Amino acid sequence: MPHSECGIFFICTFIKIKNMSELDDLLDPGVKDNQSGYSGSGNGKLPNATATLVLGIISIVGCILYGVPGLICGIIAIVLHSKDKKLYKTDTNHYAASYKNAQAGFICAIIGTILSGLMFLYFVIILFIFSSVLIR
């Protein structure tokens, strides 16, 4: 037996631990085992975090195309983020890592929606001006 295993065996025998889960609780009290469905390491993934990020980036790029694709993608990303935010609030430690992606996507979606809205409004005004000039 290696030296570290001998030490753990001695400690387990000395304090009369009956199973290894009790030892795990002593060594890492904040982390439960994966059999209960929970791990304290924050490895849980929000279902729409990646989609929110991708749609947020597309909404920024989509403002170039008359603003319509950017508006559509931005609004969808904002709605998906609101669903993920509700799920994140149920267990903040479990979803901490993927919530950062969702938050970045939400910020991109806000920026993309504003830029796309401004671009769409600009093209509507230009269209209105040119149509009024052509009618005269």
* Total number of domains constituting the chain: 2
pLDDT tier, 11 (very low <50, low <70, confident <90, very high otherwise) = very low
Cα angle 102, 103, 104; round to 5? 90
Which residue type does 95 have? Answer: Y
CA dihedral sign, ordered 20, 26, 44, 82: positive
Residue with tokens 């005269």: 136
Residue 89 exposed, middle or buried by CB count within 10 Å (0-12, 13-18, 19+): exposed
Are 98 and 120 in a shared domain?
A: yes
| CA 30 – CA 110 distance, rounded (Å) | 37
Average pLDDT of span 99-104: 94
Query: Do residues 66 and 115 both lie within one domain?
Result: yes
Q: Are residues 54 and 120 in the same domain?
A: yes
Average pLDDT over residues 80-108: 94
For the ranges 35-39, 84-88, 95-99, the one whose mean pLDDT is highest: 84-88
Full domain range(s) for residue 58:
39-135
Does the pLDDT of residue 1 top 60, yes or no? no
What does the pLDDT read at residue 39?
Answer: 47
Claim to verify: residue 45 and residue 20 sit in the same structural domain: no
Q: Say yes or no: 12 and 43 in one domain.
A: no
Q: What is the pTM of this model?
A: 0.67
Reported as a single tens digit per residue, the pLDDT across 12-59 is 444 554 555 554 554 555 545 444 444 455 678 999 999 999 999 999
Indicate whether 83 and 16 sit together in one domain. Answer: no
